[in-house]
Amino acid sequence: MQPRRFGLVNWIGLGALTGRQIRGGLADYHYQVLGPVVSCLLYLTIFHLAISTMRGNAGGDLLAFIAPGLIIYAACEKAYEASAATLILDKHERVIFDQLMAPVTAFERSLAYCIGPAICGLAVGLAVAVMSLVFAPLRPHDPLALIFFAVAGTIMHGLIGTLVGVWAQKWDQYAAIMTFMLLPLSFLSGVFYRIADLPELAQQVIRFNPIFYVIDGFRHGLTGEGTDLGLAVSVVAIVDLVLFLWVYIWFRTGYRLKP
């Protein structure tokens, strides 16, 4: 008997693994989708109440500025959670070995852990965007930039989640990366305020954070407000490529996966 040949890409295996990622990330929609939606609505409600006494259109302008940041933040957080949690759970349940024995190459596995979490994040981001219309009239300013940064941002966090899922041995490590690294880097990257209003030194420091370019580029796609779009595209694309290669190397070598 000859081994089955799938050609250049095992589309069946790639589709099955990607579908598993999506089902795992969106299975319990009460928690997986409605949770981020409610959290973002609470943020918008609080800001709406806080600025309700403002005169003129300042309040509406501020909500229109904050809403894009919350949308892409919710999408990226979901992408990170979907990839990291799935890997850690598979390792704890010792079913990761079944996946490693499947006729799927390291590249196909890396691609599945790139696409699946990104789709989960985009689904949550879309839900948050629809609910945000209650507070802010959002109209795409640059659809291409909007799509690029939504996809590239969720891919970035999905790949980070994959690396954390491979590296982490317990749930505390997964939560620590989210609490002490991704959450501060996201909230300190202009989700609630304009970077241009900060001191020059703070602006220069923040520009070394790739998450800033995801948030800034996505906001430009929705509102037209943002910094150098070409620089943001280049930084996000390069970071995604480096993270993908990192994930591929770890899957190829079996780092912390193979006994």
Q: pTM (2 decimals)?
A: 0.91
Give me the pLDDT at residue 200, please.
87
Give me the pLDDT at residue 54, please.
58
Give me the pLDDT at residue 94, please.
86
Give me the pLDDT at residue 17, please.
92
Question: What is the residue-wise DSSP string for 93-116?
Answer: TT-HHHHHHSS--HHHHHHHHHHH
Helices first, then strands: H and E counts in the chain: 12, 0
Give me the pLDDT at residue 3, please.
62
Give me the pLDDT at residue 77, please.
93
Whole-number Å distance between alpha carbons of 142 and 183: 27
- Tokens representing residue 189 in the block: 């990257």
Given a contact cutoff of 8 angstroms between Cβ atoms, the answer to whether 112 and 18 are in contact is yes
Residue 87: count of CB within 10 angstroms of its CB:
25
Task: Chunk the chain into consecutive blocks of 10 residues (it has 259) and report each block's average pLDDT, rounded to whole numbers.
Answer: 69 91 81 84 83 57 86 94 91 86 90 95 93 83 94 97 94 92 88 84 89 93 85 96 97 86
Give me the pLDDT at residue 53, please.
63
| Residue spans per domain, the chain | 11-253
Give me the pLDDT at residue 221, please.
92
